[in-house]
Amino acid sequence: MDEYEQLAEDYGRIERAIRFLEREAPRQPSLGEIAADSGLSEFHFQRLFSRWVGISPKRFLQYLTKEHAKRLLAGSANLLEVSWDAGLSGPGRLHDLFVTCEAVTPAEYRSGGEGVRIGYGFHPTPFGPCLLAVTERGICGLSFVLEGNAESLRRALAKRWPRADLRSEPERTAPLVPRIFPSANLRGAGQEPLHLFVRGTNFQLQVWQALLRIPGGAAASYADIARAIGQPKAARAVGGAVGDNPISFLIPCHRVLRKAGEFGHYGGGPQRKKAILGWESARFDLAAEPAATVSPRGPSGRESSHVL
């Protein structure tokens, strides 16, 4: 079993623990009970979290509370506006993962991807298996697999690019996995940028660009995103665009929370959203990294660069 297969297996137990906590929260179960429900002793439960995220389960579970979500949102009011004006991605970053984002041209959008070859593959990650899709111009899809929905993810990819040449090419997508999900032994520093290639409406593109400005270890509300794109009354429409995000994790829709501090929906499942946010918060706190820069091309451009 390689490192990412192990991390994916670990995530399965993490998700089960989160489900157990959600179900049993009113009676505040002990750590031993949570471990037992995951099929592990308390000792091995500790080792599981140390391997997966680098901290104890007790500390990690603190990141999954509504109180922590509210703390993330507390500093978000001006986060996106400041990042746009100052060219900064915010108070910190998750890791040195440099991302550039390019949108299809209007003509390419109308063509539905005609002439584009898309290779895809299913791969293990620290958050369970994912479908990863790539074109010659960059990553065009990343979706996490829920139990039994792998084929539906492939069909959704084909629907998003109806005229593209879609091929199963896991050997083409596999090398991207350690770059997208750097482990403790493989950080993103010094690597070539990850290029994203997205197909969406102008409104969707504005929202996805705003998501890229939310730094790791932070969060924003739908209303924050709406204000950042200059449409303060469009929070509901923003929610739709967030839900249509074709490249999970890299375009961090998981960092958008409801204003009251509720985690809200997520295409990869609500437990996975909590797990990713907790993982990011833990990694951010452990690394305590300095501010990172963003180099947007500007409102008239189609391409921008970000460090997550």
Can you read off the two tokens belonging to residue 234?
């469009």
Block residue for tokens 């179900």: 23
What residue type is 11 in one-letter code? Y
How many helices (H) and strands (E) the chain has is answered by 14, 10
Phi, psi of 26 (to 5 degrees): -55, -30
Phi, psi of 88 (to 5 degrees): -115, 145
From the number of C-beta atoms within 10 Å of its C-beta (0-12, 13-18, 19+), residue 305 rates as middle
Which residue in 64, 186, 177, 61 sits closest to 129, CA to CA? 177
Q: Is 253 a catalytic residue?
A: yes
How far is the CA of 306 from the CAs of 80, 197, 214, in angstroms? 13, 14, 10
Query: Hey, which residues are catalytic here?
Result: 253
